[in-house]
Amino acid sequence: MSLFLTACDSGDTRQVDFSDRLSDDELEQAAPVRDSERLLFGFDLRSSPDEDAAQYVPFLRYLEQSTGLAFELRFTPRSDSIIDELGTGKVHFAAIGAGSYVQARERYGVVPVARGLNSDGLGEYQSVIVVAPDSPVGDIQQLRGKRFAFGSITSTQGHLIPRSILFEHGITLEDLAAYDYTGSHQNCASAVAAGRFHACGMQDILGRSLARDGLVRIIYTSDYFPSSGIAAYRNVPAATLEKVRLALLNFDPAGQHADGLYHWDRTEMAGGFASAQTEDYEDIRRWSIQFSLLDAASNEITP
């Protein structure tokens, strides 16, 4: 059994129209998945394409060994988004942030499979707001009138949660001198370190690592939100879905399955996986509606 890597034009995902939900008829006409087909696995960009691929390839090897299925890692091209790739079946499974999952479920009816567990065994994560180590900015209120960087526009930790932090402190996008989407957590931190922006919102694990190295300084840590996880294309066969679900729940990255993994402790799934349910993501959905990323009146899709 061999693992394949699809080399597409990797890079930042484009901005997507979150209100452009497919009709039920269009969803029903989506291509079925054959049991014998090689399963394509996509991912939300977290660090660099090379670093993310190095982490996911050994993980997919574990899934192959555990399920007897064949997997192929696919990069999302610049002209597309992981939301659309998973929703239309260009990938069958994806490691995806909570915000991206909510968008993909709303538009396409994707299926939650498992939530990532952190090193403490919790299926939750936080965002951090960081500034340069020598920045005079010491709290959120001082960000009014400043330049703020986000990660990908579809990112929970890099966009949605930082937006909610600013909002709860009375700061909207219009109150900022400028803002931009840098495409990844690493790019976001680099933009602050280079002085292009005064602050950025990013993933807690990477942010704390950079802070320990003296590259950024954390000025705010969010509440906990449901962590990233694995979601599936709507038409993946039930038997295939169950095989993958069981393999994820049995994954022990700090123990018996640690050999061969690459920096898995730096991911949002350092402790393995737990079951995921649609209702886990209701707070994320509420904030998505608040920021007009979802239509509050849109019809629910039952996976």
Percent with pLDDT over 70 in the chain:
84
If one compares 302 and 226, the residue with the highest pLDDT of the two is 226
Quick one: tokens of 248? 């994820």
Q: What is the mean pLDDT of residues 229-253?
A: 97
CA distance 298 to 274: 28
Mean pLDDT of 297-302: 35
For the chain, what is the total number of helices (H) and then of strands (E)? 9, 14
Is 70 exceeded by the pLDDT of residue 163?
Answer: yes
What is the average pLDDT score of the chain? 86
C-alpha to C-alpha distance for 174 and 163, rounded to whole angstroms: 12
Structure token pair of residue 84: 């659309």
Q: Is 4-18+34-122+226-290 in CATH node 3.40.50.300? A: no
pLDDT tier, 5 (very low <50, low <70, confident <90, very high otherwise): very low
Beta strand pairing status for 178-181 and 147-150? parallel
Mean pLDDT for 281-298 is 80
In this prediction, residues 139-146 reach a mean pLDDT of: 97
pLDDT for res 222: 96
Span of 7-11, 67-71, 216-220, 272-276 with lowest mean pLDDT? 7-11
Overall size of the chain counted in residues? 303
Q: Which residues contact 24 (CB under 8 A, 6 or more apart)?
A: none
- The pLDDT assigned to 64 comes to 97
CA distance 259 to 252: 10
* pLDDT recorded at residue 294: 78
**pLDDT tops 60 at residue 53:** yes
Q: Tell me what the mean pLDDT of segment 209-231 comes to.
A: 95
pLDDT over 90 (residue 15): no
Q: Over the stretch 167-219, which tens digit does the pLDDT of each residue have?
A: 999 999 999 999 999 988 999 999 999 999 999 999 998 999 999 999 999 99
Report pLDDT digits (tens) over 81-95: 899 999 999 999 999
Q: How far apart, in whole angstroms, are the C-alpha atoms of residue 300 and residue 302?
A: 6
Residues of the chain with CATH 3.40.190.10: 4-18+34-122+226-290, 127-223
Q: Is residue 20 over pLDDT 70?
A: no
Fold of 127-223: D-Maltodextrin-Binding Protein; domain 2 (3.40.190)
Question: Cα-flanking dihedrals φ and ψ of residue 125, to 5°?
Answer: -145, 175
Q: Against a cut of 0.85, is the pTM above it? A: no
Tell me how far apart the alpha carbons of residues 273 and 276 are, in angstroms, rounded to a whole number: 9
- Strand order from edge to edge, sheet including 178-181: 178-181, 147-150, 199-203, 127-131, 217-221
